[in-house]
Structures are given as structure tokens and as C-alpha cells.
Structure 1
């Protein structure tokens, strides 16, 4: 069977970090906290101007999905809730305050930040598994996109990993997660050109913009 011809074109993907959640002074990974009132205001401000989104994709965690559902209903845009875009799990550290972690697990915390690949918190998602999951989700997204403008509502760790992937930043350390700033409700815009051979050429257009 002959291969179907590929039509070259460009897809734009806006990665939107959720707003401030309730009780934000803790390590939130898979802990499913709701948005605070401030978080709702932040997201509504950032998305007040629709630049032409054609669809919305969201993490299933409520600090992302609740707003995505509201925006989908208001804008009549199709919404997909995709569990692959959830934040990583920090296991027994998940939902624990930063102060408590520093007081009760100082050595383990230091080891994690120094070498996260071999110091996964008990019950947590290994960093290599998280990176593989997000990289695969990203490749599937751009393979299946139809030259539209996608809004992806997700998490800081996810956004940083996507950036590390497309910019080819070495991921054997925490560098991408400590040196890329993604404030609450900030937008990161990536443009992906697909050529005649089906190869994808991503480039970062903006980082950390808010309403």
C-alpha cells in the first residue's frame, strides 16, 4: 500500500500551567488539590483573549481540568481530558509541605535534587518514567495534530519536561526543573512545523507569559 502524501504545515501548542491551588506551600504532584480563588482569577486573566485555539487538552487533576471544562463550555471548544498529561507523583512526599520535607527528610531531599534518577521518593514515579511518559505524549500529540492551535492545560513539571525534550536539554539532572521558570497560569507557546517527510521541527516562541 502506498504511503499517503503528507501536507506540510504548522501546529501551534500553548502550554498553560494551572493557577494557584489551595495550600500551595507544599510539594504537589499527584495530590488533587482544587484551585484557590486566586488561581481561578489568574487563569481567567491569562486566557481572556482567545488567540484562535481550536481545541483544549487537559490533565485530569482538578487544578487543571476544572478550569479547562469551564473554558471549553464558554468557548464551545472541544475538550480532551488526557491522563498522560498529569503531574508526576512524589509518593510519600506528595502533598507534604516544603518546611516539613526540609525538617524531616533533609538528606533524602538533598539526594533527590542531586541525583533524582536514582533517588525516587518512596512510592513515587521514577523520573525516567515521567520523562518517558511526557515525551511519548508530546510525540503522539504532534503526530496526531492537524495544523491547529491547541491549548494544553497542565503542570509545571510537564511543561519543563516538554521544553527539555524539544530543546534537547540533557535530562540526567534536575537542571530543566530548576532553571526554567513557569509561574502559575503562565503560557508557553511552541510552534511545530511538519515537513513533507513527516518530520517535526519545533521551536519555542514564548515562555512564561501571563494575562
Structure 2
């Protein structure tokens, strides 16, 4: 049986689209991190995206019994290209039809100079195939939604209905019967 524990990195407090921009996480809520670490399996492999907000969150969850795997850029957030570090309102003012289509019909519509949802979904689906059976993955909102889409066979529109908070865990298990979500956006 494969068990995945997808953890969203600590908060950045940015109110913009930050995709591949490498902002640090605020890990000052040590009680929340301790609760999260205690909730996660002690003997799991631990991997994170290579962006510092995910790396430092994973480092805070590390235990001697958790095998730390190399950082994996496949678990990065969606690349927002020209929209990086801009608010939705700023991007909408520049090109309202494009940004609305990007969010309202996720799939092939690409952020200017960045990725489309299908790009993210493809790289996350490939990363899923490389994981050990019991893995904690510290990553990002979009990557967690893409994993839900890949594992549960949901549409991009359906996965966008889910909320994924910082320092939450989404648990996916694969058995002979297929994938199931045990928890989505669980805050221990």
C-alpha cells in the first residue's frame, strides 16, 4: 500500500501569486509545526520542492527516523510567469480575459511566460511515480491539487474547489482497489 502525506509549506504572508518566486516561510508557529510533525508517520521518507519555503518547512519536520530525500523541483508551485508577485487585481487590470480564463478553465491556458495547469499536472503525476510507499511531501497549493487530480481522477475544476491551508496535510492512500483521500486540508 502506498501512503502519501502532502503538506503545504509554512505561510509566506504574500498576497500575490508567488509560484516559483523563492520567498521564505514563516515557521514561527512552533506549536503548529510540532502538532503536524507528531501527526505524520515517524518512519516515512521526506521530500520537498526545492523552493526555500518548502525546504525549511521540511527541515522543521525532519526526524532521525525520517529518510530525507533530495529536493525535487517537480513539486514546485505553478510558474506564474509575468504574473509572479502580482495580485489578481493587477494581472486582471493588464489582461482581464486571459487571467479569468486561466483560473476559470484550468488546463491549457498558460500564464504569460509561465506554465499552464496541464504542465503542473504532468510534472506532479510523473513525480508521484518516483515516490517510496510511505512519503511525506512538503510542497505547494497547486502541487497538492495536481496530486489530488492525478490520484483521484478529478477534473482540474473539481480540485480547485478544495481549500489547502498552510501547514495542512492531505493524505492519499493507494490500495489494490485504487486511490482514496483519507484527509484533505487537515490541520492537526
Which band: TM-score by shorter chain?
A: 0.7 to 0.9
Paired residues of 1:18 and 1:43 also in contact (CA < 8 A) = no
The whole-number CA distance in structure 2 between the counterparts of 1:50 and 1:170 is 28
The whole-number CA distance in structure 2 between the counterparts of 1:106 and 1:45 is 41
Name which of structure 1's ranges 179-188 and 104-113 shifts more when overlaid on structure 2.
104-113
User: Deviations along 1:135-165, whole A, 9 cap, x unmatched?
Assistant: 1111232xxx2x4x32111111111111111
C-alpha distance 113-14 of structure 1, shift in aligned 2 (>3 A): same
The whole-number CA distance in structure 2 between the counterparts of 1:40 and 1:101 is 35
Partner of 2:152: 167
Paired residues of 2:49 and 2:75 also in contact (CA < 8 A) = yes
Question: Is 1:150 aligned to 2:135, yes or no?
Answer: yes
5+ residue gaps, structure 2, are none
Partner of 1:6: none
The whole-number CA distance in structure 1 between the counterparts of 2:9 and 2:25 is 8
How many pairs align? 187
Task: Tell me the CA shift for residue 39 of structure 1.
Answer: 6.4
**Pairwise CA RMSD:** 2.2
Q: Which has the larger radius of gyration?
A: 1
5+ residue gaps, structure 1, are 1-9
Normalised by the length of structure 1, the TM-score is 0.78
Correspondence for 1:70 among 33, 48, 60: 60
1:54-133 to 2 correspondences below 5 Å: 54-72=44-62, 74-80=63-69, 81-133=71-123
Question: Is 1:29 aligned to 2:29, yes or no?
Answer: no
Task: Tell me the CA shift for residue 11 of structure 1.
Answer: 2.5
Paired residues of 1:58 and 1:82 also in contact (CA < 8 A) = yes
1:4-23 to 2 correspondences below 5 Å: 10-21=1-12, 23=13
Find the residue that maps to 1:135 and give its secondary structure.
Answer: helix
Correspondence for 1:185 among 161, 167, 172: 167
